[in-house]
Amino acid sequence: MPRPGRGSRTTCGLLARIHHARPRGRRWYLRGRLRSALSALKVVLFEKSEQALQIAARDVEWHHLHDQVSLRRGDFFADDLGDGYDVASSLTFSACSAKTRISPLLSRVKAALADGGRVVIRDSMVDDSMVRPLSAAVFSVHMLVTSRQGRSYPSTEIKHWLRSVGFQDVHSVPQNPPTWS
């Protein structure tokens, strides 16, 4: 079976890269410990798109993660998410969603977590000016045009939504934006 392409961005691919880390001095030690910690991790990839699930299934098969990753088709705005999760992770959920749908979704995610569970959101966030960093501002325009409802939000707004549904110890970790030539 051919290796899944670079364009297949799934949670499974991210875990597999960590799982298959190669020894590189001290970095191997840290990655090795992380890999050991992740070996007991069970992941449920919840996705509405059949095409995305097919890509994820290829990634799971390629990286031999059948015991750790299960795929579930559903609409996370409407379908039962399950419960007892330690961590819920989302990539660009807010950029694809209307502002009025985000707080109810975060409330549903909070209810699906075990006591002390955490949510991790990786999204393209603008600053409070809504025009920086440039990459997030351009992505926001793209989402407005293609989704008719999504856009990039400032981290202050996302933190407010998280606190409003009961998450505590909310903080953001800035990322270096891509450089544009």
Domains and CATH numbers, the chain: 9-74 (no CATH), 78-170 (3.40.50.150)
The model's confidence at residue 3, banded by pLDDT at 50, 70 and 90, is very low
What is the model's pLDDT at position 2?
40
Distance CA 8, CA 19 (A): 17
- pLDDT above 70 (res 5): no
What is the model's pLDDT at position 159?
93
What is the model's pLDDT at position 156?
93
What is the model's pLDDT at position 149?
80
Q: Residues with Cβ < 8 Å from 72, sequence gap 6 or more?
A: 44, 45, 46, 47
Mean pLDDT, rounded, of the chain: 75
pLDDT tens by residue, 113-162: 888 888 888 888 889 998 988 888 898 888 888 877 878 889 899 999 99
Pair 151, 110: CB distance under 8 Å? no
**What is the arithmetic mean of pLDDT over 40-62?**
86
**What is the arithmetic mean of pLDDT over 74-89?**
86
Q: What pTM does this model have?
A: 0.71
Which residues of the chain form beta strands (DSSP E)?
43-47, 69-73, 85-91, 113-122
